Structure 1
Amino acid sequence: MGNMKMKNNKNFDAIVIGSGISGGFAAMELCNKGYKTLVLERGRMVQHGQYPTAHMDTWDLPNLNKVSLEEKQQHYQKQDRLNWWVNEDNKHWINKDDENPYNEDQRFDWIRGYHVGGRSIMWGRQCYRWSDIDFSANLNDGVAVDWPIRYADIAPWYDYVETFVGVAGQAEGLKQIPDGVFLKPFQLNCVEQKMREAVAKRYPDRVVTPGRVAHLTEYNPEVHKGPRGQCQSRNRCWRGCPFGGYFSSLSSTLPVAAETGNLTVRANSIVMEVVYDAKTKKASGVKVKDAESGEVIVFNARVIFCNASTVATTAILLNSRSETFPNGLGNSSGELGHNLMDHHYGMGASGILPGHEDDYYQGRKPTGFYIPRFTNIDEQSKQKEYIRGFGYQGGAMRVQNNPHGLVGEELKAEVFKPGPYRIGMTCFGEMLPYHENRMYLNFNQRDKHGLPMVTFDARLRDNEMKLREHGVKCAIEMLEAAGCVDITSYNSLTAPGACIHEMGTARMGRDPKTSVLNKWNQMHDVSNVFVTDGACMTSSGTQNPSITYMALTARAVDYAHKQIQQNKL
């Protein structure tokens, strides 16, 4: 994966901070355009295929894949929220909070992965385009600042990215999630299809569609480059896929970048700050601490892409203080660290759908259904109680029969008997970009590397609470329409961060006085620094954001390249 060992080279054309979804894409695009590119990753080196649990069955794992409560309490600040997330098969990808602590004025569940590939190894892989409903939302609602782009600006880059990534999905002609460049979808199973038809009949504005996911249901080596292959429908994705069946930077962008001969990946490299040159009014490089040796090194480059993830990128920029920028690099607006967002969930419903006891399905497809937002998208769907909206992710599967009290042949027969189908659906709600929701650095408290402690001060507010109530109500309505019985619902408030869709903190905008980045993801104040991870987002939408990060990244690299060709950077 490129040059792992550097001799004395400290000078590059470009530096990319972070090796995950957006960082890998930035590296590939820069390398393909001929730039000698250094990728800095604060965590350990991982090569594609080095996925220790990828081929293990549940019974091969300790405690049937469950991590003990004692282990969670020892290592994780938020063990009560991580019951579903940290398991034996993926715990080696997830940071231990006792080794990587952070502070909270208000609760924030910061789930991280420090290793080459970042969270692209264990992401949810759901890919939905944003539309002008999202890009114009702040302007229309009088909230925060207006996005400096619209759908037309990014649509060609969605096409470009989806073609390379490989997104399985079904065209629906919906304005709130525009159709894209799709491979064949993972079809709904019989119960999901029944729900689609029943919901459409009762609620024509609510569409149950196969989840759009970054999986190669059709593999074309001329398009899907790198060590990739067709998805095997094993549904062990967050362990790492040795087949390259889903998109990750380890199996896709970084190997393609390495093939150019222009890539250098440096793991165990903790970025301390971006170095600013007051004479040129540009960044000159990046200061790094080697996590193994403790050596502090400065690497120089003409252009710098910040892709360490929303919080980590902003922490680096806030720590990049100089006489020109005493409050953080490019922070003349004072907005750096503010407008922190996430999606919020912990709400939804489930129910038993009788009548399909003789039907079954083959394989373990890695997605279920998606129900796009259907509120506040036009005058007919406008709500009085709240603005913005929510979407659902869910699926239908067999429920295991309860063999309690049985032994011998009766137990064996009961275990092998398929139970009834249960439909479950989780609601994902939009969070508004409140200026008061923020992260900041505590310079009076340092971590083991000497860096100031990241501190969170963000919460859900009244709009989110009202949205949640309606989201649960609509979930129950749709399960009832499908014919479900024994319906149960839940509305367990989650803290920001729990959905792992952190956004904001270095937002795009039209006015340098109220935003950090321009329409090209370029810093208003420092022209050779670009931010294309989740920190750049101006609002949060309801859709999973990663495909948008990648599209913005490819677009920004293209712009930077043209600026360099014109000798403007």
Structure 2
Amino acid sequence: MNLNIDAVKALTYDAIVIGSGVSGGWAAKELTEKGLRVLMLERGRPLEHVTGYTEALKAPWEMPETTRLGELALKYPQALPDPAKTVPTYLMPGGDTSYRQEKPFRWLRPNIVGGKSILWGRQSYRFSDIDFEANAKEGIGIDWPIRYKDLAPWYSYVEKFAGISGEKLGLPQLPDSEFLPPMDMYLVEKEVRKSIEKNFPGRIMTIGRTANLSEAQKVQVDNGRSPCQYRNQCVRGCPYGAYFSTQSCTLPPAVKTGRLTLRPNSVVTEVLYDAQKQRASGVRVTDALTLESQEYVAKIIFVCASAMASTALLMNSVSDRFPNGLGNDSGQLGHNLMDHHFRIGANGQWEGGQDRYYFGRRANGIYIPRYRNIGSDKRDYLRGFGYQGGGGRQGWQHQVAELAFGASLKEELTKPGLWTMGLIGFGEQLPEYKNRMYLDKNQLDKWGMPTVVFDAEIGENERKMRVDMINDAQEMLEMAGLINVKTYDQGSVVGQAIHEMGTARMGRDPKTSVLNGNNQIHAVKNVFVTDGACMTSSACVNPSLTYMALSARAADFAVRELKALRI
């Protein structure tokens, strides 16, 4: 038998990283910098930093009409989160974005190199021990296998490199980060903050903690990044590299090592398992364009395809040893699906500050950290919520419905309207076994992957929480002297917040979890899952910063284990 040794060698790497988003980018950076030859596989198409953001510098009137999400929703009704925003054409869904829902669900898949790191909201908050300990104390789900002290140094590590701007508060429920200078609040926000601190002890409003560079330090400048230009066009991609993305932040140092191979248009259909060695041997890939199949070999594999996609891949990776999905001895794979529930709050107007305006277009808002079920506060539901939102002054748009014309209307259009302020709640969803995803293997896409089916919804605990979320928002704005305060509850569908979590949770016991405390599959020691799939509970804060810290930590552990010949 003749073997083409060179061909086999070309398909062999030290590590394979599946996915190029927040988690995959960090995994690739850390593994290459630690000396490993890494193959990064991305199902989406290429997107070059700077030159790929073709609409980043266009004026609003130069944007093509096809970028309206409402119009895109007609073609991709399940793939888009909300019909009220605008996205550039490079983020239009590509390929097959279909899935099925037994209960309403939204699943956004950009299908580009960089994944959702290109269009994320950039809000960056640490989990606290209150979050890591809640399951154990309340008897919900299972206990996290780690605590804040395990992740704290890794939070610091990724924050210093990514660049997080914000304000130190010293709150136990929201640990401080390694901050760049905070962005400034607008006048109305400062007024509301003063009122909240005066009238509601235990509550505070701060500027959002965001992965936008308020100033660029040496580590960011050396990586080719510049400070935020206050354009608020982040969703179009940032040619300045002012916010964290795979393209601007983690890919450049990985590429610089000379040890990274990036292969876009690569749909990973299976993680291959070697029963004799009791470890994964590699992956099977279908080329998204040619539909040709290829296998790649590696010593360790990082599954970072996004929470739902990573779990779907593990479920599709079956063998005699794992007939129900790779590493699924516990039967928990696909279960305990979580998101944040939101789209609820209040808005109002402020008649003060008519001689004041604001400078620039800040790509950030305010944040009110969780205060419910903290300390002596006890409610009829578990966990809590925080508020995002912000203020500003109405522009010419406040005259859109005016029944007038001529010079007098034109004059009015040059004057700003009242200051406005809004609060939108983001609440924690409890992990529940019944909230799940599974595969329909009778309905395959063009790459041979089964259809993902979602069966998840918010529960009674979340519905009770939403009463406080709407009432508290109204009360805080009215107490601050705002007028015409109006509340809203637009309902919240799982997946709509784009904070999908769970389905391959971490835990101490292989009988009740898929991963251990190092994001390592219990029964397959050379496979790691570091994206949202690994989460054991959801907290109420945006989770991406935690994915970064977990990915860097797991990569460090994996390399040490590899060198010690334990995996």
Flag whether TM exceeds 0.5 (same fold): yes
Tell me, what secondary structure is at the counterpart of 1:469? helix
Residue 58 of structure 2 corresponds to 56
Residue 12 of structure 2 corresponds to 11
User: Distance in 2 between the 1:350 and 1:67 partners?
Assistant: 23
**Alignment RMSD, CA only?**
1.5
Counterpart code for 1:150: R
User: Distance in 2 between the 1:508 and 1:155 partners?
Assistant: 18
Aligned partner (choices 371, 377, 383) of residue 381 of structure 1: 377
1:117-516 alignment, distance < 5 Å: 117-223=114-220, 225-378=222-375, 380-383=376-379, 385-400=380-395, 401-403=398-400, 404-516=402-514
Tell me, what secondary structure is at the counterpart of 1:162? helix
Deviations 1:424-472 (A, max 9, x none): 1110010000000000001111112111100000011100100011111
User: Distance in 2 between the 1:381 and 1:232 partners?
Assistant: 41
Tell me, what secondary structure is at the counterpart of 1:299? strand
Judge conservation of contact 2:15–2:301 (CA < 8 Å) in 1: yes
Deviation at 1:257, TM superposition (A): 0.2
Change (3 A) 1:469 1:289: same
Counterpart code for 2:84: W
Tell me, what secondary structure is at the counterpart of 1:507? coil
User: Distance in 2 between the 1:278 and 1:313 partners?
Assistant: 21
| Residue 537 (structure 1) aligned with residue 516 (structure 2) | no
Judge conservation of contact 1:163–1:223 (CA < 8 Å) in 2: no
Counterpart code for 1:386: Y
Change (3 A) 1:169 1:330: same
Judge conservation of contact 1:43–1:269 (CA < 8 Å) in 2: yes
Deviations 1:47-79 (A, max 9, x none): 10111110011111245964554x422222376
Residue 22 of structure 2 corresponds to 21
User: Distance in 1 between the 2:111 and 2:391 partners?
Assistant: 34
Deviation at 1:224, TM superposition (A): 5.3
Change (3 A) 1:216 1:444: same
Judge conservation of contact 2:79–2:93 (CA < 8 Å) in 1: no
Counterpart code for 1:83: P
Deviation at 1:36, TM superposition (A): 0.2
Deviations 1:471-501 (A, max 9, x none): 1111011101211110000112111000000
Deviations 1:329-359 (A, max 9, x none): 0000000000000001110100001111111
| Superposition misfits of 4+ residues, deviation over 4 angstroms | none
Judge conservation of contact 2:33–2:257 (CA < 8 Å) in 1: yes
Judge conservation of contact 1:341–1:432 (CA < 8 Å) in 2: yes
Judge conservation of contact 2:79–2:97 (CA < 8 Å) in 1: no
User: Distance in 2 between the 1:74 and 1:358 partners?
Assistant: 46
| Residue 108 (structure 1) aligned with residue 105 (structure 2) | yes
Counterpart code for 2:108: I
Residue 44 of structure 2 corresponds to 43
User: Distance in 2 between the 1:497 and 1:67 partners?
Assistant: 17
Counterpart code for 2:243: Y
Judge conservation of contact 1:369–1:394 (CA < 8 Å) in 2: yes
Deviation at 1:93, TM superposition (A): 1.1
Deviation at 1:111, TM superposition (A): 1.1
Residue 3 of structure 1 corresponds to none
Tell me, what secondary structure is at the counterpart of 2:417? strand
Kindly tell me the number of residue pairs found equivalent between the two proteins. 557
Aligned partner (choices 550, 553, 556) of residue 552 of structure 1: 550
Deviation at 1:399, TM superposition (A): 1.8
User: Distance in 2 between the 1:342 and 1:500 partners?
Assistant: 7
Counterpart code for 1:214: A
Tell me, what secondary structure is at the counterpart of 1:426? strand
Deviation at 1:145, TM superposition (A): 0.1
Deviation at 1:8, TM superposition (A): 7.1
Change (3 A) 1:230 1:317: same
User: Distance in 1 between the 2:36 and 2:234 partners?
Assistant: 32
Structure 2 gap ranges (5+): 1-6
Deviation at 1:389, TM superposition (A): 0.4
Residue 3 of structure 2 corresponds to none
Deviation at 1:223, TM superposition (A): 4.6
Tell me, what secondary structure is at the counterpart of 1:435? coil
Counterpart code for 2:61: W
Tell me, what secondary structure is at the counterpart of 2:246? coil
Judge conservation of contact 1:208–1:371 (CA < 8 Å) in 2: yes
Tell me, what secondary structure is at the counterpart of 1:419? coil
Tell me, what secondary structure is at the counterpart of 2:478? helix
Counterpart code for 1:289: T
Deviations 1:479-533 (A, max 9, x none): 0121111000011211100000000000000100000000000010100000000
Tell me, what secondary structure is at the counterpart of 2:399? coil
Counterpart code for 2:99: Y
User: Distance in 2 between the 1:272 and 1:513 partners?
Assistant: 26
Report the more deviating stretch, 557-566 or 244-253. 557-566
Counterpart code for 1:381: D
Deviation at 1:91, TM superposition (A): 4.6
Change (3 A) 1:94 1:505: farther
Deviations 1:14-41 (A, max 9, x none): 0000000010000000000010000000
Structure 1 gap ranges (5+): 1-5
User: Distance in 2 between the 1:112 and 1:372 partners?
Assistant: 29
Report the more deviating stretch, 414-423 or 395-404. 395-404
Tell me, what secondary structure is at the counterpart of 1:366? coil
